Amino acid sequence: MRTREDSFTFETHHLMCMVCGALPGTTCIDGDQELAQVHPSRRMSIAERNWRSRNGWEPPELVERRRERRAEEAARAALFDPRLGPGVATVLKGGRITGRPAR
């Protein structure tokens, strides 16, 4: 006997997804979960995708993932760098900010 969940169909698209790399005719994936709808940037036409990528556009989903990943890396950087002492405020792009001037 089929349940209501079994009869639910996931949205697919005929183009490859720029965000998760899903192949044509398949659903989008976020982590280990299959999404009910495709990423919005996947619905664009090929011409619009090409025009936007030539102008430096990136899908907002990728930008948000990158921003979150960099924030996590910056938060963990001070924990893993043994050179950092108690006077260090933060680590930004490999530099140290301390209370004393550089020599």
pLDDT for 15-53, tens place per residue?
Answer: 888 888 888 888 888 877 888 888 888 888 889 888 988
pLDDT one-digit tens code per residue, 84-101: 555 555 555 555 555 555
pTM of the model: 0.52
Q: Where are the domains of the chain?
A: 4-96
- Taking the C-alpha atoms of residue 37 and residue 13, their distance in angstroms, rounded to an integer, is 10
Above 70 in pLDDT, residue 81? no
- Taking the C-alpha atoms of residue 63 and residue 60, their distance in angstroms, rounded to an integer, is 5
Q: What is the mean pLDDT of residues 59-66?
A: 87
- Taking the C-alpha atoms of residue 6 and residue 60, their distance in angstroms, rounded to an integer, is 31
pLDDT of amino acid 78: 64
State the greatest distance between any 2 C-alpha atoms of the chain, in Å, as a whole number: 76
